[in-house]
Structure formats: structure tokens, C-alpha cells
Chains A and B, each alone.
Chain A
Amino acid sequence: MSVAQVRVIAWFSSALVLAAGCTLEAPTLAAPTQVRAAPVTALAQGMSVPGPASVLISFTKSADDERGIDLVKSYVPLRRRAGVDTVFAPFLFARADDDAAHPRTASFYDLNAIAGERYEYVVWAVAERDFRTVSASGAQAAVSAASNVVVASAPRDASIDGTHEASVVPARLSATPPENDGGRALAVSATLPARASGVAGYALMVEGGPRSSPRHPAFGDADRALLQPEEGASTLEQVVSAAPGDGYRFVLYTIPVRGDAVASAPSATVGTAASLLDPNKLNVGVVLALMLALTFAFLRRAQRGGKDIFIRRIPGVDAIEEAIGRATEMGRPVLYVPGIDEIQNVQTIASILVLGRVSELVARYDTEIKVPCCIPLVATVGEEVVRQGFYDAGRPDAHRPTNVQWISSEQFAFCAATNGIMLRDKPATNIFLGCFFGESLILAETGYVNRAIQIAGTAEITQLPFFIAACDYTLLGEELFAVSAYMSRDAKLLSNLKAADWVKALCIAILVVGTALALLAPQSAVTKALVEHVLTTGE
């Protein structure tokens, strides 16, 4: 099989993986089935009652549960008094231990039913908060059919007084779209009664919305069915995910320790609202716009005036061409390591850009280049870039695809193999540009033993000292990002470098002013705001 055939097969299989990854369907949710309720008389073997349970509700899980994709977040049972209530309401429950012999069934204990009352139950399956289930046609929750009617037994735990009545006052609540929101959430805020005794917790329910859903349990960011605010808290805040649309209404149930839940008045109907701009990030936008504007301003000036844009000399970059020439004279290859991080790291991108220019030079000088890579995607992109470099130099025939090698995505395995390449192939020039970690000194020292000219550049600050000690030239931080523009001498790229320099000057000015403010007027409002900002953002 030829190299080209292998390549076609590889690309084809990759495309298949890609297609498989992109065709995950938007699912709809299947409801739980076969809900059965029974008074708690004797416990099944191995089961324990977490509280004063009086009814055991068992059901068959949703067909979508544990299908590989985690679709069901949780199950929530609701109950009503048979023949008295029309709607099902939340109550105090606990999930029973799963029965290993019947993995498809699950059960709950009712913990606050009143003995002698007749109840019937439903079970809701609530979907995971994934964007596909929220936005697509798939329902967010699905409900089972009602169970049989059961007469609640006396509570199992004798220490709890079965006749205890709670003084429960329903809570007031309001809902609004959260600030700077994407349009898939609603913020619910409830004012809790000042003195409520015998309250076990609260449960949030939602109804209406674009799909006119019946009233069902809503999971907020606390991510549980029973909300228990801290002792003495006067409000309860929850952000609930919601499909985009209008007509949502929320109801908050106060759940007593014993007896039936009391519903608040429904909130006013509310719709989601998507924000189009986050004003908190405008400062970043201003800097970005400034850099863009400066780039184009410098470019215009250079094109009009025909003047060269001045960039200070970077000896390390000047040395690259010289070092490639030296490798040619000695008849030995050039080694280029584009760091060990993923392609999306901007240091790797900067290095790949330089690789294009270096491979063009290498092709012109008729020398060999070896590019060991730690990440497969970097190797794939690197090979294309090297091929293009040879093509641009007019020597496509001299390019050998095997010169760009993926070695291992394990840091030290990669390091050991690259050292091996250095010791066996004896490259005359080593160029290390990109993101490096603990392997930097091991690579650079081995290169030194080989008497190679070494040029390194990284923005990883912890590795700079090692490169400075062991390499002939080291590009510090931002110099790495300037190499490609510097080598090209292209006005478009240089004007962008110049713009970055001006923004840097602005940063220095802000730092100086900030420091002066902190020293001269440490108590002023401006200084305090600045310090607060620095402390919360970390840098």
C-alpha cells in the first residue's frame, strides 16, 4: 500500500469519526411508568427508612435513563389526596436504596403524609440541563400516569408526633430574566415568611412557557428538588433554565414536616430575554478596537508614505537564517520543535507560522528539516505548513512527509525521543519555539552537547531561565509572537506589531497612574475600585 493510499484511508476514517460525533440527535424524554404506591408496613430486606415514612412509591425508570447519554437528571414524585385535590403537589420524600436485582425500578418514601389519608402519586422525570434538550423539540420533563390510591399508614418513626400541624405561610415570588443572560434562563426570587415553624423546605414548580407545559418540578442552580434556605434567610433565589419563549409562571410550594404542601400565588407570567451585549466586558472590547484601529492606521501611513516601519532588531531572529546557513555548510539537518502544547495554544500557532518561513528558508538552502511533534494535530498542520514552505521555495520535490513526525503525546516520552533524534541525526541547528514545560532544559542541554546552534522562544515564564542558560539565543515572551512578522518584513504584519506596542505603552501608563494613585491617595474611591477589580480578577 502506498503512502498516498494510507493517507486517504486515514482521512476517510477521521471523517467518519467526525460525522459520528456531529450526528448526536436532539432527544425527547420518555416518561417513567408503572407507578405503584403501598403503605409501609414491613421493610424489604436491606432497606432502611431515612425518616418517618408512611408510603412506599415504586416505579419503572424512564426508557431514556442510563442509555449511555445522561438524559435524566432526576425523578421527582408528586402526590394528591384522592378525590379532594385536583392538582398534584410536591411533598417531603426520600429516595430509597436501589434494588440491585431490579436496576430498572426505583422507589421513594413519602415522609410527611398524614396517617389514614388516601393519596395517589405521579413521578416526573426531569431532563438534564443540556442545550439540546432545552432548545430542541424534546420535552424538559415527562410525567407518568397516576398510581393506585393508597391509605397512608402510621409513620414508621414513633418519636415523631403524627398529628403535628405546621404553621405554614405561602411565600411570595417573582421571576425575571437574569442580567446579561443568553435567553435560556429565568431568575426566580421568593420572599419567605418571617416566622414559619415546621417547614421542611420549599419546592419550585413551573408551568406554561412556549410549549404550554403542565405544572412540573423546576430545578434551579441549587440542583435539587427540595430547597432548604439557610436558617433565618428571608429570601430564596434560584436561576432556572428555560427554553426561549414567553408565558412562564412559577409556583413555590412550602413543604411542612407533616401534612400537605401549600402553594404560593403563581408569579406573574414572564418570558426569557437574550442580551446582545455584556457591558461588563466593554473594557476588553475597547482595547481590542484600539488595537485594530491602530493596526489599520499604521498600515495606511506605511502604504501612503512608503516609509519602512521601524522595528527594533531581535538578534535571536536574525540568527535563524544564519543558523540554517550553517547547517547547510555542515551538511546536517535543522531541528524544529513547535512546543508540546495543543494547536489552540496561541504559542503553538505563532510557532507554526514561523515554521512556514523556516521551512521555506531550509528548502532554499537545500537542507533537511526535522520536526518532531508532541500533539497529532500539530503534526498534521505542521506537515502541511512544511510542504507549503518547500512549495513556495520552488522545491516541492525535496519535501519528505516523514520529516514531520508525531512522536508521543506524553511529555517525557516525546522529550526522550527528541533527544534521541538529536544524538543520532546530529542537527547543526535546533530551533525550539512554542510552549515548553519541564523538558526545556533536557532538550537544550542535549543540543548543547551536540554543539548545535540553539534558538529558543517561549512565553512560559518558568522555562525561560533554562533556555537562557542553555541556548545561544532566547526570545522572551512577546518576541516569540513577533518572529513571523519580523521575518516577513511585510508592512501589514509590522503595523500590527506596532499597534500592539502602542497598546502596551498605554498599559504602562495606566500602571504608572494606578501606582501613583495607590501611593498618594490610598483612601480615594477610584483607588479602592481599582484594588477591588484587581483582587477579584486575580491579575
Chain B
Amino acid sequence: MRTTFPLLITFVAGALLILEFFIPHAGLKDVVGLMRDWGAVVTAAAFVLGAVNVLQVNIPKIARREADWGYKAVLVGSAIFTAIAGFYYGKVEPTGVYGWLFDTFYAPQNATMFALLAFFVASAAFRAFRARNLEATLMLTAAIIVMIGVTPVGEKIPFLDFTAVKDWILEYANNGGRRAILIGAALGAVATGLRVVLGLERSHLGSD
């Protein structure tokens, strides 16, 4: 019973969604639409659980003055403050405190985290891009050509039109490869979906 019931729900919900793709009948669309509404409500309700989880994990550590408890206090404090500001000022017109929080904290911190990529790319390039074998050498060469090709320097080199070669690599070699991965991944996704819907895969439910 512990696994049968969830398997049944999964099968019915999954089968309805698959059938809805093939059957235009509005009655089925209503049922699926209602299920989608439920899905949206469950997703929203999970934020309540998420907030409880954040407090559950962090408050005891702050109370016990565990290592790095200061960070956790900042986390809980800023989460509560942002929530109050968001509820009070609303999200549509971010003025006042909410807008200030967005401009002063959110925007620069977000951009900073993303900008770290530049530094990490340099260190990853130094240690990981090694011409160990033919494939790695090909990838390395392609990477260098594309990098030179996107900069204005690529246009100034007299003996080779790096921009044209870059365009060729992106348009043919890269597109071909990514389409192959895409087709494989799409089929894999369909297979995974079928396994779950048919109840073949039940590792997430455990044994009876």
C-alpha cells in the first residue's frame, strides 16, 4: 500500500498528461488544467515548507553559537527583512525599501557572483585544457580559434580569417554535435518519463 498508492497517482496523472497531448477534447483539457492549477498551488505551498526548513536548519545553530553562526544570523535576518519589505511594498512597483534592497544588495551581489566566472575560466583553462590526446587537442584548437575569432584582434590577422573559421566551427561542427546530444537527451527524457509513469522505476518510493 505504501508504494502502490503513489504509483497509482503517478500513473493516472502521467497518463492523463500524455493523452492530453493527443486528444484535443475540452473535457480532458479541463481535468489537466485543474491538475496544473493544483501543481502551481503545491509549488507555492512548498515555499512555506522551504521557509520552515531555512529556520529549522539555521536557528538551532545560531542558538548554540556553532561555528560560523554569524553568517547564519545574517541569512535569517536578511530573509525576514526582505520578506517584510516585499510584502509591504509589493513586487510590481519596487519603490522604497524594496527597490533600495534590490539596487543596493541584490543587483551588485548577483553580478559579482556571475562575474566570478571570468576568474574561474582562467584557472580552469590553465589546468584542464591540456593536449593529452587527439580529441583534447582538437577541442583546444577550436576553443582558441573561437576565442580569437570573437575579438577584434581576429580580424587583424592577415594570414587567416579567424572570424570566418569561428563562424564555420560554430555553425557546422558545434551545431552538429549539439543536435546529436539534444536528440539523445530528448529520447532519454522520454524514456525516463515512461519509466516513472509506468511504475518501472520505483527507487524513490523504496521497497514495501
Contacts and interface: CB of A to CB of B under 8 A. Distances in A.
**A–B contact (CB under 8 angstroms):** yes
Interface of A: 3, 6-7, 10-11, 13-15, 17-18, 21-22, 131, 135, 180-184, 244, 274-278, 281, 284-285, 288, 291-292, 295, 342-344, 346-347, 349-350, 352-353, 356-357, 375-377, 379-381, 384-385, 388-389, 391-392, 401-402, 404-407, 409-410, 412-413, 415-416, 420, 424, 438-439, 441-442, 445, 448, 459, 461, 464, 466, 469-470, 476-482, 484-485, 488, 492-493, 496-497, 499-500, 503-504, 507, 539
Contacts of A278: 22-24
B191 A183 contact: no
Contact of B203 (A356, A480, A499): A356
Given A18-B38, A346-B192, A496-B194, A380 B21 contact: no
The prevalent SS among residues of A at the interface is helix
A349 B25 contact: no
B25 A412 contact: no
A461 B178 contact: yes
B201 interface: yes
A284 B124 CA distance: 42
A276 B25 contact: yes
A504 B184 contact: yes
Interface in B16-47: 18, 21-30, 33-34, 37-47
30 contacts: A14-B48, A21-B40, A21-B41, A131-B26, A275-B23, A275-B24, A277-B22, A278-B23, A281-B21, A295-B200, A343-B43, A349-B193, A356-B204, A376-B47, A377-B46, A388-B205, A402-B56, A442-B113, A445-B120, A445-B123, A461-B178, A477-B181, A478-B187, A481-B188, A484-B201, A488-B203, A493-B201, A496-B191, A504-B183, A507-B187
B188 A459 contact: yes
Contacts of A17: 41, 44-45, 48
A350 B21 contact: no
A415 B41 contact: no
Given A377-B46, A445-B124, A461-B181, 16 more contacts: A3-B56, A10-B48, A14-B45, A180-B24, A182-B28, A342-B43, A349-B196, A350-B188, A350-B189, A350-B192, A353-B192, A356-B206, A379-B50, A412-B114, A469-B128, A481-B191
A275 B25 contact: yes
Interface residues of B, number: 71
A272 B134 CA distance: 64
Contact of A181 (B24, B37, B124): B24
A18 B205 contact: no
Nearest to A464: B181
Contacts of A481: 185, 188-189, 191-192
B201 A7 contact: no
B93 interface: no
The prevalent SS among residues of B at the interface is helix
B201 A377 contact: no
Interface of B: 18, 21-30, 33-34, 37-50, 52-54, 56-57, 67-68, 71, 109-110, 113-114, 116-117, 120-121, 123-125, 128-129, 178, 181-185, 187-196, 200-201, 203-207
A356 to B, nearest CB: 4
Nearest to B200: A492
B20 to A, nearest CB: 10
A493 B22 contact: no
A376 B49 contact: yes
A370 B128 CA distance: 27
Nearest to A439: B113
A221 to B, nearest CB: 16
Contacts of B41: 17-18, 21-22
B134 to A, nearest CB: 16
Contact of B113 (A391, A401, A416): A416
B80 to A, nearest CB: 14
A355 B121 CA distance: 29
Contacts of A350: 188-189, 192
Contacts of B195: 485, 493, 496
B143 to A, nearest CB: 8
A442 B110 CA distance: 13
B53 A406 contact: yes
Nearest to A384: B204
Contacts of B109: 412-413, 416
Contacts of B193: 346, 349
Contacts of B200: 295, 492-493, 496
